[in-house]
Amino acid sequence: MKPIRKLAFVVNPEKDGAPELARALIALAERAGATIKQTSTFPISAGFLKEQDACCVIGGDGTLLGVVQEAVREQVPIIGVNRGSLGFLTTFSADEARTHFAELLAGAYRVTHRSVLDCSTGSGLHDIALNDVLIKDEINSRLVRLEVHADKELVTDYTCDGLIFSTPTGSTAYNLSAGGPIIHPGVEAIAMTPICPHTLSNRSIIFRQDVRLRIYSRSKGAKLLVAMDGQRNLVFCEGSPVEISISPRTLPLAQRLDYSHFAVLRTKLKWSGGFVEQRR
């Protein structure tokens, strides 16, 4: 890849060790001749990533999600350095960042393009999500009846706590906790997973990449909350549908040349495919 000469930093000062790590990486970048800009505010302001070669996010996955809209708009690759807990999106550890940052700045990285969801409501609200779109009643304790259509064809209706519409990237987030499938991020698809449906059968559905989904509220008088990546909420009343599709734009994500999605799953989720006999 091309060397990084203009580098933006987004640093979460609430994360332990993030400011100190940022200072160390900024020093490395400046020694390599890169021009630096920095902020500790996220979501970042419009235009902050304009004409940048990359953006280094130091924090957790929530910090990175606050950069997604601008990174998608400007098509600037994100370098995620984890100072949070799991860190599925912020795939560089602090030690890896310190050790390999000079090489990365010189071009030793690859960029993968992650699909994002485009979500709009009939009331004119619009947003994008990297992980998931959650649709539920505005009041947490209420069941909601939701009717799902795919390309004008009725799929089914659910009486449930809500529905999660997930990208492959977000399949290891809320979707996984609700019993949904793990999807490799190279796949272009949308997973729909009901949350606590009032039924004896409960299965996720995987939709093809060019599907256009419409979700209607059939709960009289209900206000629906549409949560984008668990960070931004759209609220509207019954009548108009929520429309969800895969955006034509993607999120560029910078990764090490030896990055392995399955290694991340094994490490972060302590995941193993079989029984391992313990030696005595």
Helices (H) and strands (E) in the chain — how many of each?
6, 16
What are the tokens at 250? 């993607």
**Can you tell me the distance from the alpha carbon of 142 to that of 246, in angstroms, rounded to the nearest whole number?**
29
Tell me how far the alpha carbon of residue 158 is from its chain's centroid.
25
DSSP sequence for 75-130: T--EEEEE-SSS-SS--B-HHHHHHHHHHHHTT--EEEEEEEEEEEETTS-EEEES
**Known active-site residue 61:** yes
Q: State the catalytic residue, choosing from 61, 127, 132, 137.
A: 61
The residue among 38, 33, 34, 6 whose CA lies nearest residue 22 is: 38
Is the omega angle on the peptide bond into residue 3 within 30 degrees of 0, that is, cis?
no
CA geometry: angle 261, 243, 168, nearest 5 deg: 5
* Residue that the structure tokens 């091309």 belong to: 2
Q: Say whether 225 sits in a helix, a strand or coil.
A: strand
Q: Say whether 28 sits in a helix, a strand or coil.
A: helix
Instruction: Give the sheet arrangement for strand 162-166, strand by strand.
Output: 205-207, 190-195, 162-166, 132-137, 223-228, 232-237
* Type of residue numbered 156: T
Catalytic residue positions?
61
